[in-house]
Chain A
Amino acid sequence: MGGQQSTQFPDGVPIGGACDTVSGPAAAPDCLVRIRGLSFSRGAQVIFDRVDLDIARGAVTAVMGPSGTGKTTLLKLISGQLRPDAGSIEVDGEPVETLGRSALYKLRRRMGMLFQSGALLTDLSVFDNVAYPLREHTKLNPAMVRKLVLLKLEAVGLRGARDLMPSALSGGMARRVALARAIALDPMMILYDEPFTGQDPISMGVLVTLIRQLNDASGLTSIVVSHDVRETASIADYMYIISNGKVMAQGTPAQIAAERSEWVRQFMDGLPDGPVHFQYPAPSLAADLLVRGVG
């Protein structure tokens, strides 16, 4: 499937961001998310340093990077839960970082986000959780809500679990219920934060196809944050690898696979040693042990 998708993106396109690659440089407006000069820090820790990033409409864009580089933070910035220190974030033409509360909430109705932890409301059943956004934002009658909820639950394979409480779900199941909730309002864009962690191989495979199908069937735009190199590469149309506040590499999965940079190779192939060190910076082990022994 991944190979099939990447045929849309012939190798050798100019590195100008994902949007330009979708339908040629002339169609830049087909960017759903356009991030320019984004800087963000938490205290002294710089998480993004003048990052430019584009998300093409209708595509699956993957954002990858080592743990703690700020992938979740990026999603929160895009959805307006955090405000950048500098730079601009445009979603569907609207500058997220300057939007007021009501405009932001209006925009968010067209976004779904799948949290790393699921974030289900623990005092509501699975059914009510999925029904929640429908009951909040639409005036559908209960029969209609029921139909929609069952359809969404069917899509994630959990129609039978509709009466369970979130505490009775496994982590993986909770994530799938959260996905059903995120797509309840048929949003224009879904942000997936680590959708694959905690899934068994079967549901992982189902999820991978589900994300792709959702994206293609209803013209969604998807941003997938993940560590799972293989699965992500198999569904992504375009990939960003970020680390240390910078975009280290970007391109179609094929381009990334062909990337020569040592850093990218190490990350993609999961090599224990290379430019990225597994160890947190420290004096040599021998020196450390010796000092301890003496002291």
Chain B
Amino acid sequence: MANKARALVDGLLDPLARLGHGGLKALAGLGRAHLLLLGILAGSWDMLRRPRLLLAQVFNVGVLSVLIVGVSGFFVGMVLGLQGYYVLSQFGAKESLGVMVAASLVRELGPVVTALLVAGRAGSALTAEIGLMKATEQLSGLEMMAVDPVRRILTPRFFGGLISMPLLAALFSAVGVLGGYFVGVGLLGVDDGAFFGQMQAKIDFREDVVNGVIKSLVFGVVATWIALFQGHDATATSEGVSRATTRAVVHSALAVLAIDFVLTALMFGK
């Protein structure tokens, strides 16, 4: 009887304990992530004296992502052109197609889709790279050579992502506008002047373009930070690294979308 009651209480408390355990673990991870970020930032001065390292990372994150970002941007722009045309022509507002395409791209799709693409392409590669360096003791090796692996390896990657992201997002938006122009003006016959005229009248530089750039800067920080942290925190086995890579992509995608909501509410919610 007493045993049964005992089992019942345990059964009730177990999920609670698991929840608490999970929560504590998540908090500890968050703490480690912030410590890592501090370490990364502490290395920025060091990095400025070795611009080569930064250059290589802008190459890895930025240049190598240009193709996928450009192609995606063009297609997204074309789809926006098509969809927008069908909706707007029902209201006799085809001339606003340019506004619709540009506003969607500059405010939302440019920063968000670029961040998702970069997290998938470059972020996962960063996590795998750092995780493997840890698993193969390269990070410990650096440490034994009196070289701080966080400063030497992680900091340039962080700033590489930070610099590349807004530029990639701008490319995405610009190519997307051209894609929308190609479909709207080139194929569906929207008036050329109206397309750009309305767009220029409605898209505000500070409100839309600058806010979009700010968004992509924030996404650059978050996506790169998560990727680096997951790699640095990975269990030093091949399985651990592969798990960390998956986690990096999932976490950065969720973080980007959630932060996008908050930023949008703050920026455009007035």
Partners in one complex: yes
Interface of A with B (CB < 8 Å)? 76, 79, 81, 101, 105-106, 108-109, 111-113, 115-122, 132-133, 136-137, 178, 181
Q: Is the CB of B136 within 8 A of A108?
A: no
Contact partner of A121 (CB less than 8 A), chosen from B138, B143, B144, is B138
- Whole-angstrom distance between the alpha carbons of A109 and B148 in the complex? 12
22 A-B pairs whose Cβ atoms sit less than 8 Å apart in the complex: A81-B143, A105-B148, A108-B145, A111-B144, A113-B141, A113-B144, A115-B137, A115-B140, A115-B144, A117-B136, A117-B137, A118-B137, A119-B136, A119-B137, A119-B140, A119-B141, A121-B138, A122-B136, A132-B145, A136-B145, A137-B146, A181-B145
Interface set, chain B 119-137, CB cutoff 8 A to A: 132-133, 136-137
Q: Is the CB of B146 within 8 A of A115?
A: no
Whether B147 sits at the interface, judged by CB under 8 Å, is yes
Interface of B with A (CB < 8 Å)? 132-133, 136-138, 140-148
Nearest CB of A to B8, in Å: 29
Contact partner of A108 (CB less than 8 A), chosen from B132, B133, B138, B144, is B144
- Whole-angstrom distance between the alpha carbons of A170 and B143 in the complex? 24
- Whole-angstrom distance between the alpha carbons of A222 and B143 in the complex? 19
Nearest CB of A to B48, in Å: 17
Residues of chain B with a CB closer than 8 A to A106's CB: 146
Nearest CB of A to B193, in Å: 52
Contact partner of B144 (CB less than 8 A), chosen from A81, A101, A116, A137, is A81
Q: Is the CB of B138 within 8 A of A122?
A: yes
- Whole-angstrom distance between the alpha carbons of A79 and B132 in the complex? 22
Q: Is the CB of A119 within 8 A of B146?
A: no
Contact partner of B143 (CB less than 8 A), chosen from A108, A118, A120, is A108
- Whole-angstrom distance between the alpha carbons of A81 and B141 in the complex? 10
Q: Is the CB of B145 within 8 A of A133?
A: yes
Q: Is the CB of B137 within 8 A of A108?
A: no
- Whole-angstrom distance between the alpha carbons of A122 and B129 in the complex? 10
Q: Is the CB of B145 within 8 A of A115?
A: no
* Nearest residue, chain B, Cβ from A132: B145
In the A-B complex, the 8 residue pairs with the closest CB atoms: A119-B141, A119-B137, A105-B146, A108-B146, A113-B144, A109-B146, A133-B145, A115-B137
Nearest CB of B to A71, in Å: 15
- Whole-angstrom distance between the alpha carbons of A117 and B147 in the complex? 19
Nearest CB of A to B20, in Å: 19
Nearest CB of B to A91, in Å: 13
Residues of chain A with a CB closer than 8 A to B146's CB: 105-106, 108-109, 133, 136-137
Residues of chain A with a CB closer than 8 A to B133's CB: 122
Contact partner of A119 (CB less than 8 A), chosen from B138, B147, B148, is B138
Q: Is the CB of A136 within 8 A of B147?
A: yes
Nearest CB of A to B132, in Å: 8
Residues of chain B with a CB closer than 8 A to A181's CB: 145
* Nearest residue, chain B, Cβ from A76: B140
Tell which of B133, B142, B144, B146 has the most Cβ of chain A within 10 Å: B144
- Whole-angstrom distance between the alpha carbons of A121 and B133 in the complex? 8
* Nearest residue, chain B, Cβ from A111: B144
- Whole-angstrom distance between the alpha carbons of A115 and B139 in the complex? 11
- Whole-angstrom distance between the alpha carbons of A206 and B11 in the complex? 63
- Whole-angstrom distance between the alpha carbons of A116 and B143 in the complex? 15
Nearest CB of B to A80, in Å: 9
Q: Is the CB of B148 within 8 A of A120?
A: no
Residues of chain A with a CB closer than 8 A to B142's CB: 121
Residues of chain B with a CB closer than 8 A to A137's CB: 145-146
Residues of chain B with a CB closer than 8 A to A112's CB: 144
Residues of chain B with a CB closer than 8 A to A105's CB: 146, 148
- Whole-angstrom distance between the alpha carbons of A121 and B142 in the complex? 9
Tell which of B140, B143, B145 has the most Cβ of chain A within 10 Å: B145
Contact partner of A81 (CB less than 8 A), chosen from B132, B138, B140, B147, is B140
Nearest CB of B to A78, in Å: 11
* Nearest residue, chain B, Cβ from A107: B146
Residues of chain B with a CB closer than 8 A to A79's CB: 144
Nearest CB of B to A187, in Å: 10
Residues of chain A with a CB closer than 8 A to B143's CB: 81, 108
Residues of chain B with a CB closer than 8 A to A133's CB: 145-147
- Whole-angstrom distance between the alpha carbons of A111 and B136 in the complex? 20
- Whole-angstrom distance between the alpha carbons of A79 and B140 in the complex? 11
Nearest CB of B to A105, in Å: 4
Q: 10 additional contacts, CB 8 Å, given A101-B148, A122-B136? A: A108-B145, A108-B146, A109-B146, A111-B144, A115-B144, A119-B136, A119-B140, A119-B141, A133-B147, A136-B146
Nearest CB of A to B131, in Å: 13
- Whole-angstrom distance between the alpha carbons of A115 and B145 in the complex? 12
* Nearest residue, chain B, Cβ from A79: B144
* Nearest residue, chain A, Cβ from B141: A119
- Whole-angstrom distance between the alpha carbons of A7 and B147 in the complex? 40
Q: Is the CB of B148 within 8 A of A115?
A: no
Nearest CB of A to B180, in Å: 40
- Whole-angstrom distance between the alpha carbons of A178 and B144 in the complex? 12
- Whole-angstrom distance between the alpha carbons of A88 and B121 in the complex? 47
Nearest CB of B to A119, in Å: 3
